[in-house]
């Protein structure tokens, strides 16, 4: 079971309490730790977290820097524990514009955990679904140009194989916290048949109990993948 989460509402959670937005992000980071820890018990085998979008660079510089600091802290503080818990960490998105030290930490974390067989944790940083499709298209086009791929051989599978999620199943469920009813460029290729859920809590209030309730509601959904009704 693959769950994707759009962790929204940190800023509103903080400002509605008279706190700085970064306080909300900080609390959000502690939710990440808890939700990762609880995923295997709830039957989740792959968890994809949307941590920073290609559009998030437009935020105030101090908020972007604060988020980068949280990513550094998360990777530093959780590297050994994630490995110890058999979690395999991968990153989705274009790492190129990220600071060198963050890229090194990302490589270290994904390298250290690459043979782990427990939870698959994907962290999407500087990720956008459209950007991912552009990057995939470029690498497919390059193969066509150099003659290693013919145009007629391009299938749905070819596209999947060039996405950041290659070799991974599509998300069964996508959860977006804090009430907005949209995907905002998250896994737009992979979400074709995903169930969507919009719990009415901000990410800093997304506890393991709320997570378990979402999975329980998901278990009651009937998925047809485009087939006719088969009750």
- Least distance to ligand FPP, CB of residue 67, Å: 6
**Residue among 124, 208, 214, 217 at smallest CA distance from 175:** 214
56 noted as active-site residue: yes
- Least distance to ligand FPP, CB of residue 225, Å: 30
Which is nearer to ligand FPP, 28 or 128 (by Cβ)? 28
Calculate helix-pair angle for 21-38, 208-219, nearest 10 degrees: 60
- Least distance to ligand FPP, CB of residue 175, Å: 13
- Least distance to ligand FPP, CB of residue 25, Å: 5
Q: Which residues form the interface with ligand FPP (CB under 6 A)?
A: 7-12, 25, 28-29, 32, 49, 51, 56, 67, 70-71, 74, 123, 178, 203
Which is nearer to ligand FPP, 8 or 132 (by Cβ)? 8
Which is nearer to ligand FPP, 118 or 161 (by Cβ)? 118
Q: What burial class does residue 160 get, using C-beta atoms within 10 Å of its C-beta: 0-12 exposed, 13-18 middle, 19+ buried?
A: middle
Q: Which residue is nearest to ligand FPP (CB)?
A: 11
SS3 of 139-208: the string is HHHHHHHCCCCCHHHCCHHHHHHCCCCCCCCCCCEEEECCCCCCCCCCCCCCCCCCEEECCCCCHHHCCH
8 noted as active-site residue: yes
Element spanning 75, H or E: helix 61-84
User: Exactly one of 10, 34, 41, 56 is catalytic; which is it?
Assistant: 56
* Total residues belonging to the chain: 231
Which is nearer to ligand FPP, 49 or 82 (by Cβ)? 49
Q: Find where tokens 């500087």 sit.
A: 126
- Write out the catalytic residue numbers: 8, 56
């Amino acid at each position: 079971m693959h769950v994707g989460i759009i962790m929204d509402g940190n800023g509103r959670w903080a400002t509605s309490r008279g706190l700085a937005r970064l306080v909300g992000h900080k609390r959000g980071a502690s939710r990440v730790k808890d939700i990762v820890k609880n995923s295997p018990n709830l039957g989740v085998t792959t968890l994809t977290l949307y941590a920073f979008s290609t559009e998030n660079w437009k935020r105030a510089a101090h908020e972007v820097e604060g988020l980068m600091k949280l990513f550094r802290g998360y990777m530093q503080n959780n590297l050994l524990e994630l490995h110890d818990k058999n979690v395999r960490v991968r990153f989705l998105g274009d790492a190129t514009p990220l600071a060198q030290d963050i890229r090194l930490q990302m490589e270290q974390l994904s390298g250290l955990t690459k043979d782990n067989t427990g939870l698959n944790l994907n962290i999407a940083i500087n990720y956008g679904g459209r950007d991912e499709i552009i990057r995939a298209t470029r690498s497919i086009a390059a193969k066509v140009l150099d003659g290693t791929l013919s145009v007629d051989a391009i299938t749905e599978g070819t596209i999947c194989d060039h996405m950041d999620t290659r070799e991974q199943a599509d998300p069964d469920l996508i959860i977006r916290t804090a009430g907005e009813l949209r995907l905002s460029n998250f896994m737009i290729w992979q979400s074709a048949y995903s169930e969507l859920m919009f719990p009415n809590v901000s990410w800093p209030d997304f506890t393991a109990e709320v997570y378990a309730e979402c999975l329980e509601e998901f278990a009651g959904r009937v998925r047809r993948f485009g087939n006719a009704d088969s009750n």
